[in-house]
């Protein structure tokens, strides 16, 4: 059983508190993605799970076993470090087989495993080389191969694809997803890549300053963010935030000589909050050119001054300002091209799925 239960885990280095009470219950066979800004404690948490760092307080279980003070090698975990260390004097092949030999796997099983893993990671042609003769991305794949050759209870991957080129990265992402489907082993995986996070995860834990801000499915994190930090951190291009005046449960956005009354679904929550202003959170896909069949009661039409456009291929992002705040609209390539020429565009804002935040604390309303 590879479930991981983390209870009130803290980790300090002297006076510096890096992890400030982490509670996570990761199911057996789950693919957990850990995201958060640089320095928020992701690698530290991985090292604590692996047992490479002692924890300051709290408890850690794998399956039913309390492993809080169990030696790393007895935790049955395979890990790929952020700064992957290979044995420099051994060939790639030896690097991959070494752990299996130490664990006394049968010889023919080692042979076939090394072959399978090398094929999966596209490093078959490199098996006789030493690490010093490899590129960064090749080394990273060998490090991955060393972990994947084993059949542990848990895999820990700390940014395992960060050094690969874009194409290989996408291929490896798919291979990892297939592998997880086939093996069903619990995986904790750190990434800075939004697409990796959304596509691989069963659930995502978003961290900031040593605290888990939200733990949920990719759908929940994207559509139902717990606070402004999560909303801002997840999603590319990022969510738009516009300050509004609250008036009788509706939201007023005053921008230059335009005034828009914006209708939102959760009127009562806004009234109950007693706030005079709130922050309206809108994903770029909620700001588009007018759709002919838009019948929802949450549509606001307006004219957006366009400062710059960025064609991405399938659609074009248009940057403008609303109430002094930069917003990004997602337009079709044709409308986007015209908007670039005209310097303005007619848009609709669909607030049917907008989210609201407290203007000072960033908490969800
Ligand atoms: N041995 C140490 N002594 C003191 N502080 C440390 C030590 N190791 C890490 N830290 C601090 O702990 C914090 C978290 O570091 P960690 O490596 O876990 O961040 P991270 O989320 O993995 O960041 P990144 O995305 O850049 O890899 C950082 O502020 C770091 O400086
Ligand atoms: Mg790290």
> What number is the average pLDDT over the span 295-323?
92
Q: Which CATH superfamily hosts domain 4-233?
A: P-loop containing nucleotide triphosphate hydrolases (3.40.50.300)
Band of pLDDT at residue 249, cut at 50, 70 and 90:
confident
Starting from the CA of residue 34, give the closest ligand: 1
Q: Are 317 and 330 in contact (CB under 8 A)?
A: yes
More confident residue, 66 or 163: 66
Q: Give just the sign of the alpha carbon dihedral 219, 232, 292, 250.
A: positive
DSSP readout, 220-256?
A: HHHHS-SBHHHHHHSSSSPPEEEEEEEETTEEEEEET
Band of pLDDT at residue 115, cut at 50, 70 and 90:
very high
- Tell me, in angstroms, the distance from the centre of ligand 2 to residue 206's CA: 14
- Tell me, in angstroms, the distance from the centre of ligand 2 to residue 163's CA: 14
By alpha-carbon position, which residue is closest to atom 18 of ligand 1?
A: 41
Out of 12, 16, 34, give the residue to mutate to test ligand 1, the one with the largest number of ligand atoms within 8 Å of its CB: 16
pLDDT of 135 over the 80 cut = yes
pLDDT in tens, 14-54: 999 999 999 999 999 999 999 999 999 999 999 999 999 99
pLDDT of 84 over the 80 cut = no
Nearest atom of ligand 1 to the alpha carbon of 210: 14
State residue 324's pLDDT score.
Answer: 87
Starting from the CA of residue 54, give the closest ligand: 1
> What number is the average pLDDT over the span 170-192?
94
Q: Are 264 and 270 in contact (CB under 8 A)?
A: yes
> What number is the average pLDDT over the span 328-333?
97
* CATH 2.40.50.140, applies to 240-357: yes
Out of 13, 45, 46, 196, give the residue to mutate to test ligand 1, the one with the largest number of ligand atoms within 8 Å of its CB: 13
By alpha-carbon position, which residue is closest to atom 19 of ligand 1?
A: 39
What CA–CA distance (Å, rounded) separates 81 from 49?
A: 13
Q: What are phi and psi of 37, to 5 degrees?
A: -60, 160
Flag the least confident range among 44-53, 181-190, 263-272: 263-272
State residue 323's pLDDT score.
Answer: 87
The binding-site residues of ligand 1, defined as CB within 6 angstroms of any ligand atom, are 13, 16, 18, 36, 38-44, 82
| Joined tokens for residue 183 | 């093996």
> What number is the average pLDDT over the span 305-321?
95
Starting from the CA of residue 192, give the closest ligand: 1
| Joined tokens for residue 301 | 């039409």
Give start-end residues of each CATH 2.40.50.140 domain in the chain.
Answer: 240-357
- Tell me, in angstroms, the distance from the centre of ligand 2 to residue 191's CA: 9
Starting from the CA of residue 209, give the closest ligand: 1
Out of 12, 14, 17, 18, give the residue to mutate to test ligand 1, the one with the largest number of ligand atoms within 8 Å of its CB: 18
State residue 86's pLDDT score.
Answer: 92
Mean pLDDT for the chain overall:
94
> What number is the average pLDDT over the span 288-311?
90
By alpha-carbon position, which residue is closest to atom 25 of ligand 1?
A: 38
CB atoms within 10 A of CB 225: 24
CA 136 to each of CA 133, 182, 246: distance values in angstroms, whole numbers, following the listed order: 10, 28, 53
Flag the least confident range among 102-106, 195-199, 265-269, 352-356: 265-269
- Tell me, in angstroms, the distance from the centre of ligand 1 to residue 193's CA: 19
pLDDT of 294 over the 80 cut = no
pTM confidence score: 0.92
Q: What are phi and psi of 46, to 5 degrees?
A: -60, -45
Tell me the Cα Rg of the chain.
25
What CA–CA distance (Å, rounded) separates 80 from 172?
A: 14
DSSP 3-state of 4: strand
Give start-end residues of each CATH 3.40.50.300 domain in the chain.
Answer: 4-233
- Tell me, in angstroms, the distance from the centre of ligand 2 to residue 348's CA: 41
By alpha-carbon position, which residue is closest to atom 26 of ligand 1?
A: 38
DSSP 3-state of 88: coil
Nearest atom of ligand 1 to the alpha carbon of 207: 21
- Tell me, in angstroms, the distance from the centre of ligand 1 to residue 35's CA: 14
- Tell me, in angstroms, the distance from the centre of ligand 2 to residue 82's CA: 6
DSSP readout, 256-295?
A: TTEEEEEP-S-HHHHHHHT-SEEEEEE-GGGEESPPTT--
Query: pLDDT > 70: what percent of the chain?
Result: 99
- Tell me, in angstroms, the distance from the centre of ligand 1 to residue 40's CA: 7
Beta strands across the sheet bearing 355-357: 258-262, 250-255, 240-247, 277-282, 355-357
In DSSP terms, 289 is beta-bridged to none
Beta strands across the sheet bearing 154-158: 77-80, 154-158, 186-190, 31-35, 203-208, 211-216
pLDDT of 292 over the 90 cut = no
pLDDT of 280 over the 70 cut = yes
State residue 322's pLDDT score.
Answer: 92
């Amino acid at each position: 059983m590879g479930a991981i239960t983390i209870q009130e885990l803290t980790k300090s280095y002297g006076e510096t508190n890096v992890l400030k009470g982490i509670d996570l219950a990761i199911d057996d066979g789950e693919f957990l993605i850990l995201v958060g800004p640089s320095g928020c404690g992701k690698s530290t948490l991985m090292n604590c799970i692996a047992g490479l760092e002692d924890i300051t307080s709290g408890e850690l279980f794998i399956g039913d076993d309390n492993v809080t003070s169990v030696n790393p090698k007895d935790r049955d975990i395979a890990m790929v470090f952020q700064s992957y260390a290979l044995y420099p004097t051994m060939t790639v092949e030896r690097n991959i087989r070494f752990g299996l030999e130490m664990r006394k796997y049968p010889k023919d099983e080692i042979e076939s495993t090394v072959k399978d893993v090398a094929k999966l990671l596209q490093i078959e042609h490199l098996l006789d080389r030493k690490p010093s003769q490899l590129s960064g991305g090749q080394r990273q794949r060998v490090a991955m191969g060393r972990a994947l050759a084993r059949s542990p209870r848990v895999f820990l991957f700390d940014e395992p694809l960060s050094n690969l080129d874009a194409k290989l990265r996408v291929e490896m992402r798919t291979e990892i997803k297939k592998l997880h489907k086939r093996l069903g082993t619990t995986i904790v995986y750190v990434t800075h890549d939004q697409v990796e996070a959304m596509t691989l995860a069963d659930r995502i834990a978003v961290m900031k300053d040593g605290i888990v801000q939200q733990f949920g499915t990719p759908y929940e994190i994207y559509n139902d963010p717990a606070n402004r930090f999560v909303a801002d951190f997840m999603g590319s291009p990022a969510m738009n935030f516009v300050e509004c005046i609250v008036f009788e449960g509706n939201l007023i956005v005053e921008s230059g000589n335009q005034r828009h009354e914006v209708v939102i679904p959760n009127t009562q929550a806004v009234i109950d909050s007693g706030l005079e202003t709130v922050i309206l959170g809108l994903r770029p896909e909620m700001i588009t050119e007018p759709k002919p069949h838009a019948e929802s009661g949450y549509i606001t039409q307006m004219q957006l001054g366009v400062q710059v456009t960025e064609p991405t291929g399938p659609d074009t992002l248009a940057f403008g300002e609303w109430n002094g705040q930069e917003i990004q609209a997602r337009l079709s390539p044709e409308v986007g091209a015209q908007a670039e020429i005209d310097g303005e565009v007619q848009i609709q804002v669909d607030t049917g799925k907008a989210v609201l935040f407290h203007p000072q604390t960033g908490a969800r309303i």
